[in-house]
Amino acid sequence: MARDPSVNVRIVSMEVERIRDHSCLFSVAACFLLSVVYVASLYVWNSPHNRDHPSTIKRRFFSVFIMMFISPVFLYYFLPEHIVKESSIWKLLGIRFNGLIPAISIPLVLTMVLFLGPLCMQTRNGLWKLYFEPLYWRDQAKNLIWLRNEVVAPLSEEFTFRACMLPLLLQCFRPMVAVAVCPLFFGVAHFHHMVELMRSGMEFKKALIICCFQFLYTTLFGAYSAFLFIKTGHLVAPFLAHAFCNHMGFPDFGELLSYKEPVRSGLAVLFVVGLVGWCNLLTPLTNPSWYGNDIP
């Protein structure tokens, strides 16, 4: 007796769904494993010094340098073969020339809009004058902590947690769902700082509170960074945004409150204007066509 065609369709659909779920499981597992390997690479060195000691920083520089070679292996191995054939691995990693100039400039300006209030505070307290001093940049380039915070950490983290994870997650999640899922790996990875805080003598409860707060804002930033990568298709866009955010740090509301009226109210308004402006400009300024991005 001939089988009902609708039955065959349902069987094929069930098989496709099973394969898809299996692929999603592998993609998420690969991202989790990659985040574990990245954090573990920072602790392979048996050092008695804290994270800001020059010897610790240099060793971790070497670790993340090695991770820059290991991370793409996860992407290549766990990504479906037809995806790799259809698009080059460089393009998937967001390393390409098409649309590079807009990717360098526009997302950075967008991020500066978000920090309008803090930037205006820096102008008022005179910090901006330092940025026009060549000696300031020469000294910073010799500062290992500055190099870690402004260059090495943003580059290695964006490469691993965005460029090598998002193409995997996009195989089983819609883009905006991937934007929400990807930062969780990034946020959880920062919990390793809790070990260092407790080693320095901080009590468990305080270290936990600090790391939970850090998890919150790194996850929020991670979502923004993932959004930039998906929309622009360029690694440089989230890298520069990450470096700039690291430079600015979390907004210093204590400094804001230290100003007298009407300066305090004026700066507070600029904080709000920056946030509202960023929200309204986020979608228009990340139009994929501006960046030659056809991956999404």
Residue 5 has pLDDT above 50, yes or no: no
pLDDT in tens, 64-121: 999 999 999 988 888 877 777 777 889 999 999 999 999 999 999 999 999 999 999 9
**Residue 206, domain member (yes or no):** yes
Torsional sign, CA 200, 201, 202, 205: positive
Q: Which residue is listed with tokens 């990568």?
A: 229
Question: How far apart, in whole angstroms, are the C-alpha atoms of residue 91 and residue 84?
Answer: 10
- Residue 284 lies inside a defined structural domain of this protein: yes
CB-count burial class (<10 Å; 0-12, 13-18, 19+) for 290: middle
The Cα–Cα gap between 15 and 180 comes to: 28
Using one digit for the tens of pLDDT, what is the confidence trace for 132-177? Answer: 888 888 889 899 999 999 999 999 999 999 999 999 998 888 899 9
* Count of domains observed in the chain: 1
Is 272 inside any structural domain?
yes
Catalytic residue among 22, 81, 133, 190: 190
Task: Say which residue the tokens 């009902």 belong to.
Answer: 4
Based on the residue annotation, tell me whether 17 is a catalytic residue of this protein.
no
Domain-located, residue 58 = yes
The set of residues, in sequence order, having a beta carbon less than 8 Å from that of 292 and lying 6+ positions away, is 96, 98, 99, 233
Q: Which of 157, 158, 234, 242 is catalytic?
A: 157
Range of the domain at 153: 5-291
Is 196 a domain residue?
yes
Looking at per-residue pLDDT, the higher value among 195 and 95 belongs to: 95
Measured CA to CA in angstroms, residue 135 lies from 130, 141, 142 at distances of: 9, 10, 11
Distance between CA atoms of 233 and 235, rounded to whole angstroms? 7
Asked, for residue 257, whether it belongs to a domain, the answer is: yes
Q: Is-catalytic flag, 190? A: yes
Residue 49 near residue 56, CB atoms below 8 Å: yes
296 in any annotated domain: no
